[in-house]
């Protein structure tokens, strides 16, 4: 059996904070998905030529990426706050790379990815989630 250290205790205390930031980041990405989706819907009647269809595809792609990434983060954050679904949390952190498609949420998602992986890779945190 391994012994808990002060570093493990500090990392364990930060897991709920990372989980809250996952929910906040995911909510912002869902908001972006809504805004981009509304923008796409407003352009539906105005498609002109090949450029218009390309623009429509861009709107749909951006909204889909933000919807997928945001939903994953909110679901993971809610579960990770109770030390459940470790793999979902790690996948949600990595889903921040998907938000590069929207550009708006990528800087904060990248910071959350680095910080979250640092916390989640701690051996004490992995044990708390039941991962050995």
Chain segment 105-126, per-residue pLDDT in tens: 888 999 999 999 999 999 999 9
C-alpha 123/C-alpha 82 separation (Å) is 17
The answer to whether the Cα torsion of 122, 123, 128, 130 is positive or negative is positive
> Which one, of 50, 53, 52, 64, lies nearest residue 101 by Cα?
64
Q: What is the pLDDT of residue 128?
A: 93
What ranges do the domains of the chain cover?
Answer: 14-121
Residue 2 pLDDT exceeds 70: no
Query: Residue 47's pLDDT band (boundaries 50, 70, 90)?
Result: low
Distance of CA 131 to the CA centre of its chain: 21
For the cut 70, the answer to whether the pLDDT of residue 45 exceeds it is: no
């Amino acid at each position: 059996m391994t012994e808990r250290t002060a570093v493990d205790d500090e990392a364990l205390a930060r897991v709920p904070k990372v989980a809250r930031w996952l929910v906040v980041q995911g909510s912002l990405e869902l908001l972006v998905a809504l805004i981009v989706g509304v923008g796409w819907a407003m352009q539906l009647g105005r498609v002109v030529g090949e450029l218009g269809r390309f623009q429509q595809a861009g709107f749909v792609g951006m909204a889909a990426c933000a919807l997928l990434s945001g939903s994953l983060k909110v679901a993971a954050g809610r579960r990770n706050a109770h030390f459940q679904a470790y793999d979902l949390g790690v996948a949600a952190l990595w889903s921040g790379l998907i938000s590069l498609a929207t550009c708006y949420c990528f800087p904060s998602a990248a910071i959350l990815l680095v910080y979250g992986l640092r916390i989640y890779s701690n051996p004490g945190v992995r044990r708390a989630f039941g991962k050995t």
